[in-house]
Structure 1
Amino acid sequence: MPPRLLRLSLHFLSARPAARLTRTTPHYPPRPIPTSTSSPRAYHAYDRPTPPPYPPTETAILTAALGRVPAHGFSKTALALGARDAGYLPVSTNLFPAGEMELVKFWCTKARLGLGGTVEKEGLPEGGVRGRVKELVRRRLRMNVEGGVVGRWGEAIALMAHPTYAPTALAELSRLADEILFLAGDASLDSAWYAKRAALAGVYAAAETFQTQDTSPGCVDTERFARERLGDVESLGKAFGDVGEWVEFTVHGVLNGLRSKGVRL
């Protein structure tokens, strides 16, 4: 994610009406979190769309199109080939007014909702929210590798940075941060509820930017980068008294972290 969009994302996440910061309960009610595979429970995220986010036809085309992304990128060509692979005419891509951005959004949504599935199957480590957040971020970044999109993710970031699509990208980033902290069992009741999500969104956006240039096997350097940046937020976050100060620290921290790893900004 380019620096400008990263800053916008943090502003988007932190710019809440003051009255909402005085709520005595989280924006979403807490739900039980499955933490082990020994006693699995059904996973129902507060923002999981019902019915599914895409109708069956669109889901079939977009799913098939994702299989074409490694060779053709997040492109209209991938969409057209996906329609053909799913048994539809290429003109069926008219179902997606946003074109290739719809393919990016589909992947982000699919991966975000998939985090809950990994919790059901694999559980989460013991030891508190911080460790679980790090593990969930690692799993989400790993999805880009295992899903075959990491080599083309620079194209996705460029699309998300476009002024037309930036609001959609920021909204999805907000949902991802919310999902990770929810699954990790975060129960913040004050302004930290917003600050943590803003900080996490900034770190994750920076990690994905780093991942586009990561040549290490399985992008393990990206996972290390994310752990370090999350550690920075943990060690210094308590020193800040409000959301604005936390977000300002996070912006500078993640950008400096990217520069230290050789990413050109």
Structure 2
Amino acid sequence: MRLSKRNPALQPHRTYYSIHHPDPLPFPPVQTAILTSAIQHVPRLGFTPDALIAGAKENNYREATLNLFPRGVYDLVHFYLVTQRLQLKDRVQFSEDAKLGLTQKVKTLTWARLQANVDNDIIGHWQDALGQMSLLENIPASLKELGNLADEIWYLAGDKQVDFGWYTKRAQLSAVYASSEMFMTTDKSEGFADTKEFLERRLGDVRSVGGTVGGAMDYAGWWAGNGVGLARSWGMKV
């Protein structure tokens, strides 16, 4: 059963919730068509210019059309992030009579987003995507999109609390999601069971909402430090 409909006029303000205010895709039609095709080539070619070229050719555009993507491969990564966030509300649908608490719903939604990287067969290339996200010029857009995902997960889980904790919870979930996603790229356990355990443990650590007021800034520092270091370890020029 689909998630119950909500009257947007009765909802507290949110920075983002796609169920009522869907984002337009981050690119106009020509670029969207190319990127949609290019994503299908990522399992084979990775997040690379070759995937973009393959997407352009499938849509009868020349390779020169890639000049439409000023951020290069990162535009492909960003497109994937946005489309997967927008699909989350259809990927996970709670029945109205489901006896699930807020924490369980957040865990279910977060795991579903992580699992999408497996289902789309791109998990083997996700370290490269993380490297692109960690480049200094891409960090602001990456952090913004991560915040949008955390916002979406809490909203779809039914969070209606409006106080300063609203910001803290989203910062905490952003950090939990990012660390779980990075852990998943090296997880060799069957069905990514170790990642699921890692996620549950991290969510348990922040179950008491409102722990760190500076969570958002702490996480931004983590991304700029550890994320860039990780990108360098992969041989990227950062």
Q: Which residue of 2 aligns with 1:156?
A: 129
SS in 1 for 2:206: helix
| CA pair 169-135 structure 1, distance change in 2 beyond 3 A | same
CA apart distance, 1:123: 4.7
Q: Which residue of 2 aligns with 1:137?
A: 110
Contact residue 65 and residue 83 of structure 1 kept, 8 A: yes
Of all paired residues, the percent bearing the same amino acid is 40
SS in 1 for 2:92: helix
| Deviations 1:48-72 (CA, angstroms, capped at 9, x unpaired) | 214x433222122111111111222
| Deviations 1:211-240 (CA, angstroms, capped at 9, x unpaired) | 110112332321221111101111x446x4
Equivalent residues in 2 for 1:146-225 (5 A)? Answer: 146-225=119-198
Distance 1:219 1:104 in 2: 22
Q: TM-score, normalised by structure 2?
A: 0.79
Q: Which residue of 2 aligns with 1:227?
A: 200
Q: Which residue of 2 aligns with 1:44?
A: 19
Amino acid at match of 1:49: D
Higher relative contact order (CA 8 A, sep 6+): 1
Q: Which residue of 2 aligns with 1:20?
A: none
Matching residue within 70, 79, 99 for 1:97:
70
**Root-mean-square deviation (Å):** 2.7
SS in 1 for 2:121: coil
Distance 2:27 2:15 in 1: 25
Say how many residue pairs are matched.
210
Distance 1:93 1:243 in 2: 42
Distance 1:231 1:114 in 2: 26
Matching residue within 27, 32, 35 for 1:59:
32
Distance 2:190 2:83 in 1: 24
Contact residue 45 and residue 51 of structure 2 kept, 8 A: yes
Amino acid at match of 1:56: P
Distance 1:153 1:196 in 2: 25
Contact residue 16 and residue 151 of structure 2 kept, 8 A: no
Amino acid at match of 1:44: I
Q: Which residue of 1 aligns with 2:14?
A: 28
Residues 125-134 or 165-174, more deviating = 125-134
| Deviations 1:181-205 (CA, angstroms, capped at 9, x unpaired) | 0111111211110010000000000
Unaligned runs of 5+ in 2: 1-10, 221-232, 234-238
CA apart distance, 1:247: 6.2
Q: TM-score, normalised by structure 1?
A: 0.72
| CA pair 87-30 structure 1, distance change in 2 beyond 3 A | closer
Matching residue within 184, 188, 213 for 1:243:
213
